[in-house]
Amino acid sequence: MPRDIIIDTDPGQDDAIAILLALASPELNVLGITAVAGNVPLALTQKNARIVCELAGRPDTLVFAGCDAPLKRKLVTAEHVHGKTGLDGPQLADPTMPLQDRHAVDWIIDTCRAAAPDSITLCPLGPLTNIATALTRAPEIKQAIAEIVLMGGGYFEGGNITPTAEFNIYVDPEAADIVFSAGLPLTAMPLDMTHKALTTKPRIDAFRALGTRVGDMTAAWTDFFERFDMEKYGSEGAPLHDPTVIAYLIQPDLFTGRHINVEIETQSDLTLGMTVADWWRVTDRAPNCMFMGDLDAEGFYALLADRLARYS
Ligand code: BDR
Ligand code: CA
């Protein structure tokens, strides 16, 4: 039986590749995609989500627009990484598939209320505003949530938007705090791990060699944001953050981490949005998160190429 998932996302080229990976994987049943403001404003993230579904040949996918701003703060965006549209690279046509007319948070709540216990996996790939709003407004939906697997945070690697904060957590730290303290099974894919999932030239060439539209777009997208990251980190490629969430659902043995306590800094100006990870277990704070530290990068890229090859 495929696992029912909801992808909550702010596409973003790496979000887009995560969506393509999910829609090509028979182990997963994408109940819907909920867009949130993050890399770019909501009007663009919901549109980009639909562009990606159409690229995947899946215009039947339910796409909802959610929160357009963080819970308590002004939206911070990342056009400097993802470009003006959030999905810069070769231009793609505007989507014709519909945006669902319900608010994403209402749909998440109703879907979870109607679901069997422990039957839905939430996959947040952006700021946690939609998920935190749903959990706050309808705490009873927790019964339906088997697990939350998210991309966010960083500890040993520091931050990518401030010296101590990773983008998704920094944009809405109050929402992150709600999710990390919800008492649900939680797995985080932090920068400590995603910075080892680098898009080297042979790996991008493998996408291009598929000779399909999906292969070409994936290669072009990684080429686009790679420019920024290679300059920033001096690395041989860019980290492909968000697809690690989906890969983990399909092949968890590609990843290793520790079940530890992780708290979100919401007060300090200097370290706002930091994921304070008790990696060495030096406190008696209860573990609340499987915090990943490493991955088999070759295995991850092999899985990605294998699944993307399923698009004709
Ligand atoms: C995260 O921030 C976004 O720019 C990416 O899509 C990813 O979700 C990495 O910090
Ligand atoms: Ca993202």
pLDDT for the residue numbered 224: 84
pLDDT for the residue numbered 276: 98
CATH number at residue 271: 3.90.245.10
Paired with 64 in beta bridges are: 34
Nearest atom, ligand 1, residue 39 CA: 4
pLDDT for the residue numbered 236: 75
Instruction: Spell out the residues 6+ positions from residue 309 whose beta carbon is closer than 8 angstroms to its own.
Output: 210, 212, 215
Spacing of C-alpha 154 from chain mean position:
14
Helix, strand or coil, per DSSP, at residue 207: helix
d(C-alpha 301, C-alpha 304), whole Å: 5
Are the C-beta atoms of residues 215 and 209 closer than 8 Å to each other? yes
Smallest CA-to-CA distance from 14 within 168, 133, 130, 148 is with 168
Are the C-beta atoms of residues 285 and 262 closer than 8 Å to each other? no
Q: Which ligand is nearest to the CA of 13?
A: 1
Q: What's the domain count of the chain?
A: 1
Are the C-beta atoms of residues 196 and 159 closer than 8 Å to each other? no
pLDDT for the residue numbered 229: 64
Helix, strand or coil, per DSSP, at residue 165: coil
Q: Which residue has 């209402």 as its token pair?
A: 106
Residues near ligand 1 (Cβ within 6 A) = 12, 14-15, 39, 78, 81, 125-126, 151, 160, 166-168, 241-242
Torsion of CA 230, 233, 234, 235, to 10 degrees: -70
Using CB atoms within 10 Å of the CB of residue 69, give its burial: 0 to 12 exposed, 13 to 18 middle, 19+ buried. middle
Nearest atom, ligand 1, residue 242 CA: 8
Could you give the residue numbers annotated as active site?
Answer: 241
Residue 86 structural domain: 3-308
Nearest atom, ligand 1, residue 160 CA: 10
d(C-alpha 71, C-alpha 175), whole Å: 7
Whole-number Å distance, alpha carbon 242 to ligand 1 midpoint, is 7
d(C-alpha 39, C-alpha 41), whole Å: 7
Token pair of 125, please? 């790939």
Pairing, β 262-264 against β 186-189: unpaired
Token pair of 270, please? 């200097």
pLDDT for the residue numbered 44: 98
pLDDT tens digits in sequence order for the chain, 312 residues long: 999 999 999 999 999 999 999 999 999 999 999 999 999 999 999 999 999 999 999 999 999 999 999 999 999 999 998 999 999 998 899 999 999 999 999 999 999 999 999 999 999 999 999 999 999 999 999 999 999 999 999 999 999 999 999 999 999 999 999 999 999 999 999 999 999 999 988 999 999 999 999 999 999 999 887 666 666 666 678 899 999 999 999 999 999 999 999 999 999 999 999 999 999 999 999 999 999 999 999 999 999 999 999 998
Are the C-beta atoms of residues 249 and 18 closer than 8 Å to each other? no
Pairing, β 262-264 against β 275-277: antiparallel
d(C-alpha 189, C-alpha 149), whole Å: 8
| DSSP symbol at 100 | P
Which CA distances in Å does 107 have to 75, 102, 111, 249? 23, 7, 6, 23
